[in-house]
């Protein structure tokens, strides 16, 4: 469930807007509210939802606007839209009620309902009375989110933290009384889970309780922000927003995302831990290949683009790239402009394809790492500009089978959000970027591979020699059959030995060839004199041919052995193989006579197929020496101080995760259809603060976490009754919001409390089905097709789209916590741990300790009694209620119960 604001919230809003409306009417005096009721209630909303998009502030098709009665009377190209007092002669009625689809308005979607048409007619017949001072729709360019944020002045009140100052302003405005602070232990649990995703340890709880100094909370926040687990916890948040996914496809075929995406995950975690600016992070995600083409660590960031990979349809691939780059980084829903101009925002269909042009040239390749030459085992999935000249066409009605090839679109960002020309500077790449085989570790990796193969081959050769000696050691016999068998054995062993020798020779030559190829490649891309280069190239070519010859000799040896072993049935086929191998050998020998200049350059990267149609040959094409610079231009535009969206969208996401609810509810849509901010000053202040502090995310966390607002209880208890009436859904944060733990946190908390958590960071993912692993949950393989079952029960991130995690409450969650082997094992460990701390504890003391440890809250008297009674009942199931086993069962039962407690999986 993505949308968490409840209905009641809506009613509150509705009431509010009705109140404002009524006030407005009252102010304009004289007019009776009900005279305009009909227009305002039954006519204007219909026009607004169905007509304004083309006949309003955004667009004025046929020069007609329908957003005021005056403009309707004024009309457009075909005359007045309405006739007051006469529906039957009003053009509007004629068009909305038209029978023919071709002349009916609105042109898209379903016709207006009969009741809506009747309402419009009634209003017209009654004189089409306009409300006084009716205002046209505002110019969409003035929409709050399209105007760059300016740091708002701090309200004059006493709050030390600007956040509290802005919130207090709203409390005063709405007559809300903020709640008191949460218990200190609850605050500690909250901030620990929030920042590192793990509950406080018993020592941390104890120390915090004892520390009464004013900086106690600040020190906790610093400790947590400096913990490497901060990056793991917040990395997972940003991975949600950036749609992290491991690859998926059919069987072994990669169809979506890419292999080895974990490099990108590790980059996210590390960047957060070192507090890379958010601006730097976005830049690297979009354009590390242009900005840092030789920095493999930063290139990991382009996993963001690699994740968008879709093998079967380039348009779908780019559509998703555009949709989710826009939603995640700009808070704009671009996707509807694919087929037609945006109905709500000033973005045209051409804008969409201009943005597509920014991404058009990019493709994905796997970049070799020092780990080795096998791209299946390890590599870094990364973007690069591949098809520099590929044009981008507008697809008529969004149909990729119908491109308008008369004009190709220039790469650009939407006109409305351009404050200066969108300038693009092509990037000349360093040689290692377009010829990754030149990287030192690549040669090293190939050599290592060949050396280990050589060693294997040599070992085989010496074994084969032993076998041969053994065969030859068998004494000749009197028996003819035995002798024949002896001879065959010797022949086979000889054959095996020859193969092994040839194979060793092959790998030796391979090593030699590797060195020569690299020397030639380096010379080619360096400033080598022509003569010297020619010599190196020739040497490499000869070396390659010698290698080919060795391979051919090995081939002949293999074929001959096979032929030796053949049965009458396979004889013919194997003899043909021998003949073919010999022909190949002759050819290889002949080629040695005229070595030429052809050799195999060493590959340092492997391109992922552009589509299921791309040939192997095309995949091996040389990489371009320049990159278009389009994505760099996009990134720079995004992080420009004048961009009105980027920083606001980021702080809104951060706020949402700290407080359980965003300031702008539609986190991926800040456009005109999106929700208004509940506190724009607060949002803008935070956005400016982010930009003016090197886009430091930790800086924003610090401010938020040191606020009074963050300290408040999430309870309604003892709240001013007015609060519940005025703002029952806590829109204005007069208390904290309780947050359901995310899936990862549920599992990690259980492991941590049990003392079982393995804190090893980073590296390749764990299999999704691994129940034994004790590592943190973000390391599980997570794709559309494969996800950890336990995590799935708790609204795990949807890899297709996850701007906010769901917080569903379903029975499967109870089953998972009650019955899964992981939960049961952790319950056992937690019980053991708590028992170890005080083996002789009475039930009531054990219960108290367990309650505090798991929920960070003191049990009430009745809770304590209930726990004690329950433990007593569990004891009584045993034969002897005071036995050690009965005590153990009671404790296990209690801990199991606490793990299933609502407040265990809730951040209070």
Partner 1 sequence: MAMNSKRINSRDMDSANRRAFLSNCGMGFSSLALGAMLARDGVGRVNDPQDWQPPNGQPHFPPKAKSVIWLFMNGGVSQAESFDPKPELTKYAGKSISETPFADVQNPEKLKLARVTVINDANGQQRNKLYPLQVGYRKYGESGIEMSDWVPNIGSCADDLAVIRSMWTTDDNHGAQTQFHSGRHMLDGEFPTLGAWVHYGLGSLNDNLPQFISMGNREYWNIKDGHYLGPAHDAVPIRVDPANPLDFGKPAVGLSEAEQKLGFDLVNGLNRLRADAYPNDSALEARIKAYELAFRMQTSVPESLNFQEETAATHEMYGLNEPETKEFGMQMLATRRLVERGVRFIQVQHGAGGAGAWDAHGGLKANHEKNFKAVDKPIAGLLKDLKQRGLLDSTLVVFASEFGRTPGTQGSDGRDHHIFGFSVWMAGGGVKGGVVHGATDEIGFHAVENRHYVTDIHATILKQLGLDSRKLEIPGRKRLDIDHGKAIDEILKT
Could you say which residues in the range 734-773 bind partner 1, by CB under 8 A?
A: 738, 740
Instruction: Supply the minimum distance, in Å, between the C-beta of residue 893 and partner 1.
Output: 6
Residue closer to partner 1 (CB basis): 430 or 767? 767
Taking CB under 8 A as the criterion, the residue among 59, 297, 784, 888 binding partner 1 is 784
Taking CB under 8 A as the criterion, the residue among 180, 706, 785, 849 binding partner 1 is 785
CB under 8 A, 24+ apart: contacts of 394-398: 394/349, 394/350, 394/353, 395/315, 395/338, 395/353, 397/339, 397/340, 398/338, 398/339, 398/340
Instruction: Please state whether beta strands 626-627 and 427-428 pair in parallel, antiparallel, or not at all (unpaired).
Output: antiparallel
Can you tell me the distance from the alpha carbon of 230 to that of 725, in angstroms, rounded to the nearest whole number? 38
Q: Which residues contact 579 (CB under 8 A, 6 or more apart)?
A: none
Residue tagged 């072993």 (tokens): 565
Instruction: Find the binding residues for partner 1 in span 877-906 (CB under 8 A).
Output: 877, 889, 893-894, 896-898, 900-903, 906
Tell me phi and psi for residue 470, to 5 degrees.
Answer: -60, -45
Residue tagged 């009436």 (tokens): 725
Q: Name the DSSP letter for residue 712.
A: B
Instruction: Find the binding residues for partner 1 in span 435-494 (CB under 8 A).
Output: none
Taking CB under 8 A as the criterion, the residue among 376, 428, 483, 611 binding partner 1 is 611
- Which range in 403-411, 451-459, 466-474, 806-814 contacts partner 1 by CB under 8 A? 806-814
857 touching partner 1, by CB under 8 A: yes
Instruction: Supply the minimum distance, in Å, between the C-beta of residue 861 and partner 1.
Output: 6
Residue closer to partner 1 (CB basis): 314 or 589? 314
Taking CB under 8 A as the criterion, the residue among 201, 792, 829, 849 binding partner 1 is 792
362, containing H or E segment = strand 362-367
Instruction: Find the binding residues for partner 1 in span 703-722 (CB under 8 A).
Output: 714-717
Residue closer to partner 1 (CB basis): 219 or 842? 842
Instruction: Supply the minimum distance, in Å, between the C-beta of residue 820 and partner 1.
Output: 5
Cβ contact 592:546 at 8 Å: yes
Can you tell me the distance from the alpha carbon of 221 to that of 405, in angstroms, rounded to the nearest whole number? 57
Residue 172's alpha-carbon distances to 157, 177, 178, 684, 729, in angstroms, are 11, 8, 10, 20, 17
Instruction: Dump strand ranges (E) for 370-455.
Output: 380-385, 393-395, 403-408, 427-428
Residue closer to partner 1 (CB basis): 8 or 470? 8
Cβ contact 900:818 at 8 Å: yes
6 touching partner 1, by CB under 8 A: yes
Taking CB under 8 A as the criterion, the residue among 23, 26, 31, 814 binding partner 1 is 814
Taking CB under 8 A as the criterion, the residue among 14, 23, 160, 484 binding partner 1 is 14
SS3 of 655-695: HHHHHCCCCCCCCCCCCCCCCCCCCHHHHHHHHHHHHHCCC
Both tokens of 539, joined, read: 């040497």
Instruction: Supply the minimum distance, in Å, between the C-beta of residue 901 and partner 1.
Output: 6
Taking CB under 8 A as the criterion, the residue among 158, 567, 819, 882 binding partner 1 is 819
Taking CB under 8 A as the criterion, the residue among 406, 811, 840, 879 binding partner 1 is 811
Using the Cα atoms of residue 835, residue 836, residue 839 and residue 841 in order, give the sign of their dihedral.
negative
Residue closer to partner 1 (CB basis): 33 or 815? 815
Can you tell me the distance from the alpha carbon of 247 to that of 307, in angstroms, rounded to the nearest whole number? 8
Q: Which residues contact 870 (CB under 8 A, 6 or more apart)?
A: 893, 894, 897
- Binding track over 94-133 against partner 1, x by CB under 8 A: ---------------xx-----------------------
Taking CB under 8 A as the criterion, the residue among 175, 821, 883, 885 binding partner 1 is 821
Instruction: Find the binding residues for partner 1 in span 235-274 (CB under 8 A).
Output: none
- Which range in 6-14, 21-29, 90-98, 135-143 contacts partner 1 by CB under 8 A? 6-14
Both tokens of 653, joined, read: 């996401």
- Which range in 201-209, 411-419, 755-763, 808-816 contacts partner 1 by CB under 8 A? 808-816
- Which range in 81-89, 353-361, 480-488, 867-875 contacts partner 1 by CB under 8 A? 867-875
Instruction: Supply the minimum distance, in Å, between the C-beta of residue 314 and partner 1.
Output: 10
Cβ contact 198:229 at 8 Å: yes
Instruction: Find the binding residues for partner 1 in span 301-330 (CB under 8 A).
Output: 312-313, 315-316
Taking CB under 8 A as the criterion, the residue among 305, 581, 874, 887 binding partner 1 is 874
b/e 696-718 (16+ beta carbons within 10 angstroms → b)? bbbbbbebbbbbebbbbbbeeee
Residue closer to partner 1 (CB basis): 197 or 677? 677
- Which range in 169-177, 449-457, 539-547, 820-828 contacts partner 1 by CB under 8 A? 820-828
Nearest CA to 115 out of 44, 51, 43 is that of 43
- Which range in 220-228, 368-376, 585-593, 783-791 contacts partner 1 by CB under 8 A? 783-791
Instruction: Supply the minimum distance, in Å, between the C-beta of residue 795 and partner 1.
Output: 6
Residue closer to partner 1 (CB basis): 410 or 786? 786
Most distant pair of Cα atoms in the chain: their distance = 132
Instruction: Supply the minimum distance, in Å, between the C-beta of residue 223 and partner 1.
Output: 28
Residue closer to partner 1 (CB basis): 128 or 186? 186
Q: Is 780 strand, coil or helix? A: strand
Instruction: Find the binding residues for partner 1 in span 336-355 (CB under 8 A).
Output: 336
Residue closer to partner 1 (CB basis): 263 or 327? 327
Residue closer to partner 1 (CB basis): 71 or 666? 666
626 touching partner 1, by CB under 8 A: no
607, containing H or E segment = strand 605-607
| CA-atom Rg of the chain in angstroms | 36
Instruction: Supply the minimum distance, in Å, between the C-beta of residue 400 and partner 1.
Output: 9
- Binding track over 828-847 against partner 1, x by CB under 8 A: --------------------
Residue closer to partner 1 (CB basis): 408 or 857? 857
Residue tagged 């201009």 (tokens): 354
Residue closer to partner 1 (CB basis): 219 or 810? 810
Q: Name the DSSP letter for residue 111.
A: P
Taking CB under 8 A as the criterion, the residue among 482, 572, 865, 884 binding partner 1 is 865
Taking CB under 8 A as the criterion, the residue among 288, 328, 638, 793 binding partner 1 is 793
Q: Name the DSSP letter for residue 326.
A: I
Instruction: Supply the minimum distance, in Å, between the C-beta of residue 55 and partner 1.
Output: 19
Instruction: Find the binding residues for partner 1 in span 643-702 (CB under 8 A).
Output: 665-666, 669, 673-676
Instruction: Supply the minimum distance, in Å, between the C-beta of residue 875 and partner 1.
Output: 10
DSSP class per residue in 338-356: GTS--SSSS--HHHHHHHH
Residue closer to partner 1 (CB basis): 555 or 893? 893
Residue closer to partner 1 (CB basis): 60 or 889? 889
Give Cα 774 to chain centroid, integer Å: 24
Instruction: Find the binding residues for partner 1 in span 550-589 (CB under 8 A).
Output: none
Instruction: Say how many residues touch partner 1, by CB under 8 A.
Output: 87
Q: What do you get for the CA distance between the two ends of the chain, in Å? A: 20
555, containing H or E segment = helix 530-565
Cβ contact 747:756 at 8 Å: no
Q: Is 120 strand, coil or helix? A: helix
Taking CB under 8 A as the criterion, the residue among 16, 49, 483, 884 binding partner 1 is 49
254, containing H or E segment = strand 253-256
Cβ contact 195:232 at 8 Å: no
Can you tell me the distance from the alpha carbon of 270 to that of 436, in angstroms, rounded to the nearest whole number? 25
Taking CB under 8 A as the criterion, the residue among 80, 227, 566, 820 binding partner 1 is 820
């Amino acid at each position: 469930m993505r949308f968490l604001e409840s209905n009641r919230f809506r009613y509150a809003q509705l009431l509010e807007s009705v109140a404002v409306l009524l006030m407005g009417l009252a102010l304009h005096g004289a007019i009776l509210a009900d005279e305009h009721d009909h227009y305002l209630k039954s006519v204007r909303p219909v026009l607004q939802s169905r007509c304004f998009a083309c006949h309003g502030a955004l667009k004025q098709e046929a020069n007609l606007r329908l957003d005021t009665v005056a403009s309707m009377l004024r009309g457009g190209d075909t005359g007045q839209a309405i006739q007051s007092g006469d529906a039957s002669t009003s053009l509007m009625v004629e068009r909305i009620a038209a029978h023919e689809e071709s002349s009916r308005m609105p042109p898209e979607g379903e016709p207006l309902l009969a009741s809506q048409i009747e309402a419009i007619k009634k209003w017209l017949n009654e004189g089409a009375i306009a409300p006084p001072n009716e205002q046209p729709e505002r110019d969409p360019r003035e929409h709050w989110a399209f105007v760059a944020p300016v740091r708002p002045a701090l309200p004059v009140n006493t709050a030390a933290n600007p956040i509290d100052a802005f919130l207090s302003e709203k409390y005063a405005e709405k007559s809300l009384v903020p709640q008191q602070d949460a218990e200190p232990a609850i605050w500690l649990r909250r901030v620990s889970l929030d920042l590192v995703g793990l509950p406080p340890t018993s020592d941390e709880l104890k120390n915090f309780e004892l520390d009464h100094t004013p900086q106690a909370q600040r020190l906790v926040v610093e400790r947590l922000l400096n913990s490497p687990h901060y990056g793991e916890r917040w990395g997972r948040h940003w991975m949600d927003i950036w749609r992290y996914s491991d690859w998926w496809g059919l069987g072994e075929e990669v169809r979506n995302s890419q292999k080895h995406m974990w490099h990108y995950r590790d980059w996210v975690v590390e960047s957060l831990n070192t507090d890379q600016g958010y601006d730097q992070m976005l830049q690297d995600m979009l354009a590390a290949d242009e900005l840092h083409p030789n920095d493999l660590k930063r290139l990991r960031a382009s996993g963001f683009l690699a994740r968008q990979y879709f093998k079967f349809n380039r348009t779908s691939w780019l559509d998703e790239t555009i949709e989710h780059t826009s939603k995640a980084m700009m808070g704009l829903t671009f996707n509807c402009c694919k087929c037609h101009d945006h109905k709500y925002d000033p973005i045209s269909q051409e804008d969409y394809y201009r943005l597509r042009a920014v991404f058009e040239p990019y493709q994905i390749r796997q970049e070799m790492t020092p780990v080795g030459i096998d791209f299946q085992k390890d590599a870094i999935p990364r973007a690069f500009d591949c098809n520099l000249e590929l044009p981008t066409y507008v697809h008529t009605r969004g149909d990729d089978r119908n491109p308008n090839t008369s004009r190709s679109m220039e790469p650009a960002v939407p006109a409305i959000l351009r404050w200066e020309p969108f300038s693009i500077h092509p990037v000349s790449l360093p040689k290692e970027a377009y010829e990754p085989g030149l990287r030192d570790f690549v040669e090293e990796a190939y050599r290592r591979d060949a050396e280990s193969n050589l060693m294997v081959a040599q070992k085989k050769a010496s074994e084969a020699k032993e076998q041969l000696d053994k065969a030859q050691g068998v004494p000749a016999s009197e028996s003819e059959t035995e002798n024949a068998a002896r001879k065959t054995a010797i022949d086979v062993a000889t054959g095996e030995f020859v193969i092994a020798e040839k194979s060793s020779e092959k790998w030796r030559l391979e090593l030699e060839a590797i060195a020569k190829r690299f020397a030639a490649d380096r010379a080619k891309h360096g400033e080598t004199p022509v003569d010297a280069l020619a010599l190196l190239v020739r040497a490499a070519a000869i070396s390659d041919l010698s290698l080919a010859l060795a391979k051919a000799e090995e081939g002949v040896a293999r074929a001959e052995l096979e032929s030796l072993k053949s049965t009458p049935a396979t004889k013919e086929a194997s003899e043909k193989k021998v003949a073919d191998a010999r022909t190949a050998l002759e050819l290889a020998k002949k080629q040695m006579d005229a070595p030429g200049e052809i050799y195999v350059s060493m590959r340092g990267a492997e391109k992922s197929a552009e589509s299921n149609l791309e040939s192997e040959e095309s995949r091996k094409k040389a990489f371009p020496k320049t990159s278009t610079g389009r994505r760099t231009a996009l990134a720079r535009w995004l992080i420009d101080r004048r961009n009105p969206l980027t920083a606001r969208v980021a702080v809104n996401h951060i706020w949402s995760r700290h407080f359980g609810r965003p300031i702008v509810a539609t986190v991926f849509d800040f456009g005109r259809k999106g929700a208004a901010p509940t506190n724009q000053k607060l949002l803008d202040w935070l956005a400016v603060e982010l930009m003016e502090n090197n886009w430091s995310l930790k800086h924003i966390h610090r401010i938020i976490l040191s606020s009074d607002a963050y300290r408040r209880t999430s309870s309604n208890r003892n709240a001013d009754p007015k609060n519940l009436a005025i703002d029952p859904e806590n829109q204005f944060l007069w208390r904290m919001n309780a947050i359901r733990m995310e899936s990862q946190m549920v599992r990690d908390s259980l492991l941590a409390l049990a003392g079982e958590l393995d804190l090893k960071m980073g590296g390749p993912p764990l299999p999704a089905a691994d129940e034994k692993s004790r590592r943190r949950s973000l390391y599980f393989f997570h794709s559309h097709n494969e996800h950890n079952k336990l995590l799935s029960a708790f609204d795990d991130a949807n890899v297709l789209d996850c701007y906010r995690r769901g917080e569903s409450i379903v029975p499967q969650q109870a089953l998972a916590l009650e019955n899964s082997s992981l939960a049961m094992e952790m319950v056992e460990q937690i019980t053991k741990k708590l028992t170890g701390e005080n083996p002789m504890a009475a039930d009531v003391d054990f219960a108290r300790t367990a309650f505090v440890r798991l929920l960070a809250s003191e049990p009430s008297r009745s809770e304590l009694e209930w726990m004690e009674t329950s433990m007593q009942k569990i004891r009584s199931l045993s034969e002897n209620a005071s036995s050690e086993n009965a005590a153990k069962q009671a404790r296990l039962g209690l801990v199991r119960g606490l793990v299933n407690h609502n407040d265990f999986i809730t951040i209070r």
